[in-house]
Amino acid sequence: MSILVDKKTRLLVQGITGREGFFHATQMMEYGTQIVAGVTPGKGGEWVLDGKIPVFDTVVGAAETTGANCSVIFVPARFAADAILEAADGGIPLIVCITEGVPVQDMMRARSYINQHGARLVGPNCPGVLTPGACKVGIIPGQIAIPGSIGVVSRSGTLTYEVLYALQRKGLGVSTCVGIGGDPINGTSFMDVLAMFEDDPHTDQVVLIGEIGGTDEERAAEFIADHMTKPVAAFVAGVTAPADKRMGHAGAIVEGGSGLAADKIAALKSAGVRVAEHPDLIPEVLA
Amino acid sequence: MKLHEYQAKQVFSQYGIAIPRGRVASTASEAKSIAQELGGRVVVKSQVLVGGRGKAGGIRLANSPSEAEEVATQILAMQVKGLPVRKVLVDEAATIVEEIYLGVTNDRGARSPVMIASSEGGIEIEEVARNMPERLFRITIDPLLGLREYQARYLAASIELRRELWREFVGIAQGLYTAYTESDATLAEINPLVITGDGRLIALDAKMVVDDNALFRHTELAEMRDFDEEAPPEREARKYGLSYVKLDGNIGCMVNGAGLAMATMDVIKLFGGEPANFLDIGGGAGADKVAAALGIILSDSNVRAVLFNIFGGITRCDEVARGILMALREVSTDVPMVVRLTGTNEAEGQRILAEADMLTAGSLSEAAQTAVSLANERQSA
């Protein structure tokens, strides 16, 4: 089956009347995701998506009325931290933030706060979570993945699509795909998702897609060596990235010595992970 | 965005951190008159956005205004690690008894700010971390509580600072932390923080990096950006919201998404080619953005072939295809190109490219192989 989201997910869309929020809410609904409410401050009382989805002014109002248990955030970067805090305060247990460009200090404060509230945040700057055939929360194109037993976890957006597409072309299905986002401070780490896949009876093996910057892949390697019984395959982007250059993602900064792709690949390999040389080759290194 | 030393010092002094008297100059005669105002010995410091200025000869003492003029003339004519010096900071020279390090930055692992102090100031902190890790002390700061006094005292005690300076040190640590949070910095650093002959603590150097994503709420910091420090293609890219980094190879790349862009570079290399750049056009890029991006790629005279790798999600393939054709109408070029388009509105995108006789590829591997052989043909021609 899946982790994080499934057919029982009751989704709230924060920023549903915005350009991005509206477009992707439509796509998610067409995929079969159960959207129960939208939130846009000042537009409470309106109905959107062919008059099927009620819009609320606040997350608390939406959650109390509709029983939403997951929220996806499409609000502009300067309001994103506030939206995350509002969702956590409104009792939403799973918060997925798609927005990119959120100030890093906003994220440190938000992260500290939601930890105290026991909510889980995925993202920001991520493509979201997709359980093929059941539920899509975010912007991962639905048509590039089929249901199956491979868990996918990634720091990237379009690179994840590349891998999903490579799997699909070989007829390989996915249990859940989780985009954890490319920012330096995010809500959910590789380790968190690996632990969920390890416990999920419907996931047989895992594909991890990393990139330069930080030490998340190294920590994941330690976790895999110590706690994972399921096989893991990986690809790490940025072998050719020069040290000390910023490659778009705030997270993709090589920080003196650590953070290099070569070190990450070595750590993963020593944990028994089979690392593909390029994304198209992922299906060939699967168990 | 990195601030120059003189800019960071201005920010720090607003938070109660003592800095030497001094001003910035862009000519040697200005440097002379600043030295005259200050009186006594001065230090003339190149203002470039790289470390290691001292070793490169970009920081020098001067005993008189005329010597300051002479030294400034030399420094303003030099390059520090390839960067031309356009400004010098002229500061009064301090009598240094001890040099301390104090900095605050983001700790990704702890997902919190971290403050670092060391008794070994005046050298790069990475060097201290490597050679004398026992002299380096860190405290993790709860971003909701901020830096507490006891934490700053712990650092003061750890670096064995004289007790009579603790109060002043705690004030500086709190000032630095507040400067860091209120400026949305990712790094705020004083190296060295010196104890002077008359027993004061002064920030002799200052470094600050501000989070680009937070500049929208710091117009006064955003205005400090030194456009001269940015290469023209990078500047042009930023104007269009593109992320571009020039590299040394000959295959230009245009990709949507940073991770995929890096992976594309990796695959090019895997097939024996060398990427000329990293370029992420971002999500949802329209035709005009694609056209601007192509112009930037082709402004690099090393480019012998261009590879487009677009995986449409938010980005629509037909928009990108139109952008490529639009750009080719504006930029006349005979550089060969190969396009790989997949995802949202793929069929329409392919049709547009086919009508224009563009070379296409079905997968990333195929596109990379084609680009490498196109570039090699060109290079040897």
CB contact under 8 A, A156 and B257: yes
Q: Which of B113, B91, B114 is nearest to B203 (CA)?
A: B91
Cβ–Cβ gap A165/B265 under 8 Å = no
Contact B109 A127 (CB under 8 A): no
Q: Check B342 against A165: CB less than 8 A apart.
A: yes
- How confident is the model over B278-283, as a mean pLDDT? 88
Percent of chain B with pLDDT over 70: 99
pLDDT at A249 over 60: no
Contacts of A185 in chain B (CB under 8 A): 106, 108, 111
Q: Name which of A139, A185, A278 is nearest B270 (Cβ-Cβ).
A: A278
Most trustworthy range by pLDDT among B28-42, B305-319, B335-349: B28-42
Cα separation, B112 vs A112, in Å, equals: 8
Contact B263 A235 (CB under 8 A): yes
Say yes or no: A46 contacts chain B, CB-CB below 8 A.
Answer: no
Annotated catalytic, A249? yes
How does residue A258 score in pLDDT terms, banded at 50, 70 and 90?
low
Chain A: nearest CA to B29, how far in angstroms? 36
pLDDT in tens, B227-271: 777 778 888 888 888 889 999 999 999 999 899 999 999 999 999
Q: Write the residue in A246, A248, A278 that is nearest to B263 by C-beta.
A: A278
State the nearest Cα–Cα gap between A51 and chain B, in angstroms.
24
Closest to A31 (Cα-Cα) out of A117, A136, A103, A188: A136
pLDDT at A247 over 90: no
Q: Is B243's CB within 8 Å of A212's CB? A: no
Contact A78 B216 (CB under 8 A): yes
pLDDT at residue A269 in the model: 97
Mutate to test the interface with A, among B81, B104, B108 (most CBs of A within 10 A): B108
State which residue of chain B sits closest to A279, comparing Cα positions: B263
Q: What is the DSSP string of B51-102?
A: S-TTTTT-EEEESSHHHHHHHHHHHHT-EETTEEP--EEEEEPPPEEEEEEE
Closest residue of B to A237, CA-based?
A: B263
Q: How far is CA B103 from CA A215, B99, B136, B205, in A?
A: 21, 13, 11, 11
What is the count of residue pairs from A and B with beta carbons less than 8 Å apart? 160
Instruction: Give phi and psi for A285, each to the nearest 5.
Output: -100, 5
- For residue A235, give how far its alpha carbon lies from the nearest alpha carbon of chain B (Å): 9
Distance CA B240, CA B153 (A): 47
Nearest-angstrom CA–CA distance, B276 and B306: 9
Which entry of B69, B189, B229, B319 is annotated as an active-site residue? B189
Nearest-CA distance A33 → chain B (Å): 18
Percent of chain A at pLDDT above 70?
94
Q: Is A218 on the interface with B (CB under 8 A)?
A: no
Residue A161 CB contacts under 8 Å (≥ 6 apart), including other chains: A127, A140, A141, A144, B260, B311, B313, B343
Nearest CB partner across the interface for A279, out of B143, B263, B284: B263
Determine, for residues B255 and A158 on separate chains, whether the beta-carbon distance falls below 8 Å: yes
Percent of chain A surpassing pLDDT 90:
84
Alpha-carbon distances of B273 from A49, A145, A212, B61, B307, rounded to whole Å: 48, 31, 21, 48, 12
Task: Over range A29-58, report the average pLDDT.
Answer: 96
Please indicate whether, in this complex, the C-beta atoms of B313 and A256 are within 8 angstroms of each other: no
- Work out the minimum CA distance from A38 to partner chain B, whole angstroms: 20
Residue among A100, A105, A248 whose CB faces B261 most closely: A248
Cα separation, B58 vs B95, whole angstroms: 20
Strands (E), B198-272: 201-203, 207-210, 243-246, 251-255
Per annotation, catalytic residue among B6, B15, B101, B240:
B101
**Using CA atoms, how far apart are residues A157 and A154, in angstroms rounded to an integer?**
8
Q: Please, which residues bridge with residue A150 across strands?
A: A174, A205
A277–chain B Cβ distance below 8 A for any pair: yes
CB within 8 A of B82, min separation 6: which ones? none
- Shortest Cα distance, chain B CAs vs residue A201, angstroms: 30
CA distance B112 to B257: 27
Chain B positions touching A154 (Cβ under 8 A) are 259
Q: Which among B186, B268, B314 has the least Cβ separation from residue A104?
A: B186
A158–B213 CB contact, under 8 Å: no
Determine how many CB atoms are found less than 10 A away from the CB of residue B330.
10
ipTM of the complex as predicted: 0.89
Predicted confidence at residue A243, as pLDDT, reads 67
Would the CB atoms of A109 and B262 count as touching at under 8 Å? no
Nearest CB to A211; choose among B256, B262, B365: B262
Confidence of residue A257 (pLDDT cuts 50, 70, 90): very low
Q: Give the pLDDT confidence score for residue A244 in this predicted structure.
A: 60
Q: Of the candidates B216, B262, B344, which has its C-beta nearest A241's C-beta? A: B262
- pLDDT value for B319: 86
**Shortest CA distance to B106 belongs to which of B199, B213, B19?**
B213
* Alpha-carbon torsion angle A128, A279, A273, A136, nearest 10: 20
Provide the CA A128 distance to its chain's centre, in angstroms: 4
Contact B211 A105 (CB under 8 A): yes
For the entire predicted model, the pTM comes to 0.91
pLDDT in tens, A147-205: 999 999 999 989 999 999 999 999 999 999 999 998 989 999 999 999 999 999 999 99
